[in-house]
Each structure stands twice: as C-alpha cells, then as structure tokens.
Amino acid sequence: MNTYYLVRHGQTEWNTQGRTQGHGNSPLTDLGVKQAENLANAIKKYPIDLIYCSDLGRAIQTAEIVGQNLGIEVKPTSKLREMGFGIWEGMKLTDIEAEYADMFAIWRNQPDKLIVPGGEMLKDIKKRQDELLEELNTKYQNKHILLVSHSVTVRVMLLSMLDSDISNIYRIKQDNTAINIVEYKDYGPVIKKINDTSHLVTGDDVNQVKSALE
C-alpha cells in the first residue's frame, strides 16, 4: 500500500494581499521560496519515490524546489488543482464580502453548497482527487508519493480519506508547506501527521498568511 505526503504550496504574492487564487496564478514570495526550501530539507528524511503536483504555477514552483533537492522529476496534473473560484479569482476577501454577501455567507456556513459563476464546487474537487488517488493506488504499490497542491484541495483530500463530509472543510487547517502524511492500509487510509509546520522554525518563516478563502 502507498504512503502519501500531502503538501500545500509556499506563500504567494496573492496570499499576502488577501486575494482569492483558485485557478489564477501568483508567484511565490521570497518567504514562499524559503518555505519550499525548508520543506525540501525536511522531506529528505522520508523515502519519497514520486512527486506529483498541481499544474498551477505556485504548486509547480514549490514542487520543483523539492524535486531538484531530491533529484526526482515532478509530474504536474490538473487533478491536484485548487478549487476554481470563477468570478472571485483575483478579488480581495473584503471585496468579495461586500459585493457578494449572500454567496460569501454560503461559503462560510454551507461551503459544499457554494456555486460561484465560472467556478467549481467542493464536490468537483473531491471527484477529481478521488480519481487521482485511485489511479495512483492502481498504478503503484508500496511507494512514497509526495502530492503538492493547495489549501482547499488538500483539506478535501483529508476529509475524503477520513470518510468525512466535505462540508467540514473549516475543521482542518492547512498552512503554507504544511506536511500531512497518510498511509494506506488494507482497511483504508490512516492519517499519521497533519498540518506539520515544524520545518518552519526561524524568524518570519513561521509567519503564515492565510489563504483568502480559508
């Protein structure tokens, strides 16, 4: 059975501005690069065999820093993308609250019911990440696989592994470059570590900026 290391990308410019990213793109900040470098050093103690990442720039940038450090080629896939937020992408959280108050209230209180024009629903994220894990578990056996993704996507993955409803997304916290470890057993996935940021230990490196929609 495979073991998965789920990781959120490093801090981005839009993270610091409180902007919604979704399928939009924003490069890592200097701090985000440092976080990814610290992640690369921390992940060395695990026997990583493969690295898959979201095909969005911030995840690729994070994964490549790790991949170069480990000497492993990165495999991008759209199935690890962040939730698409449609017309909200690029907007600041305060502006979304002001301009789309009713929709924002749904996101805060019934996140699984949110429908943003041009965007995705949480169930769409669950469907594509469930498909990816099924593919990987069929293709590989007894591998240690790093998956570099995004805040919402990682939380949905963890909820799915726990067989918990995706409406519980706010009950899981995911900081930039946090490490989550899930080991698949004959009886199902076992979460061994969650939101571990112990590799972020110096100065501003521990100053996390929340994703706009956390």
Give the residue numbers marked as catalytic.
9, 82
19 labeled binding residue: no
| H-assigned helices in 47-142 | 57-70, 93-99, 101-109, 122-139
Beta-bridge partner residues of 28 = 12
What is the SS3 assignment for 189? Answer: strand
107 labeled binding residue: no
128 labeled binding residue: no
13 labeled binding residue: yes
35 labeled binding residue: no
**Two structure tokens written together for 185:** 């057993």
Sheet holding 144-149, edge to edge: 74-77, 50-54, 144-149, 3-8, 179-185, 188-196
14 labeled binding residue: yes
The answer for 8, left when phi > 0, alpha when psi is -120 to 50, beta otherwise, is: beta
11 labeled binding residue: yes
144 labeled binding residue: no
What is the SS3 assignment for 126? Answer: helix
58 labeled binding residue: yes
Which residues define the annotated binding site for substrate?
A: 8-15, 58
Binding positions: 8-15, 58
